[in-house]
Amino acid sequence: MAAIKIENLKKYFGNIKAVDGISIEVEKGILFGFLGPNGAGKTTTIRCMMDFIRPMEGSVTILSKDARRDSVELKRKIGYLSGNTRLYDNWDGQTHIDFIKRFYNGEDKSASLVDRLGLDTGKKARHLSSGNRQKLSLILTFMTDPEILILDEPTLGLDPLLQNEVYELLYEFAQNGSTVFMSSHNLAEVERVCSRVGIIKKGKMVASQSIAALKEKKIYIINAHFGQPVNPQEFLDENTELVKELTDGLLLKVKGDINPAIRKLGNYNLAHVEISQPSLEDIFMEYYSNSEGNHA
């Protein structure tokens, strides 16, 4: 059963096609990563899901209810984290928490969340660092034990230890049957947390697949410098291409298995070699620039 279903969603701002006919289906209990470079349409999609803005075409169904018609009812079942949360500067953390409690009659998990995230709830919001503001925002999002979590960059501003704690919280919510829809431009984070991913680029869905399938799409950049002249053609094959000839070396791009390229490098006197993986946006450009629609 789909907990979230988006069909042919379109939202334009003048000539800007922020979201251009996307369709997404997320099963109940899934940790779903919504990936894309900045400006791809992630936040616009989420705002349509939350009925903060209205699409021009298409529909959003959450828990079998229409996101527009049943907006008020759904908001009681959704934990939403904005990518730019606004807090009341003159309220302390506890006052924010007490305010949220007034709207919900179910279980309140705020005390355990405050302890896990290590937040001083006595400080006014205006005195909180960006990391502590994010902690408070996460507590307000998670405290009502929602059936659906819709998160826009949930670990923004958090140190690695707190990021790990948030990941654990997400796992726990999914294990208890909640569904997580998590927007991010951080590929490593989504690879770690999510089981499926949807990729949006320039307002269009260019992929929808399991994380296992995404991980198979490896690209490596090899920056090799040699102590002797080399012939670039000796390194090229169906998986390896020359990006640039350097004064004393080569910049190579390898798709898939990197071992054949490494073996070729071993035949030469290497002065220096550096192997890296490109940014998420580079991966999109490599694999999906000519793609249309969804891929299983």
Structure tokens at 184: 């991010």
How many Å is the Cα radius of gyration of the chain?
23
Mind listing the pLDDT tens digit for each residue in 130-167? 999 999 999 999 999 999 999 999 998 899 999 999 99
Structure tokens at 49: 């899901």
Question: What is the pLDDT of the chain when averaged over all its residues?
Answer: 89
Q: Which whole number is the average pLDDT over 17-39?
A: 92
According to the model, what pLDDT value does residue 152 have? Answer: 92
According to the model, what pLDDT value does residue 289 have? Answer: 56
Mind listing the pLDDT tens digit for each residue in 157-205? 899 999 999 999 999 999 999 999 999 877 778 888 999 988 888 899 9
C-alpha distances (whole Å) from 66 to each of 59, 150, 229 are 8, 16, 65
How far is residue 273 CA from its own chain's centroid? 31
Sequence length of the chain is 296
Structure tokens at 264: 């070729």
Structural domains in the chain, sorted by start = 2-215 (3.40.50.300), 219-276 (3.30.70)
CB 274 within 8 A of CB 223: yes
The percent of residues above 90 in pLDDT, for the chain, comes to 73
pTM equals: 0.78
Mind listing the pLDDT tens digit for each residue in 242-268? 999 999 999 999 988 899 999 999 999
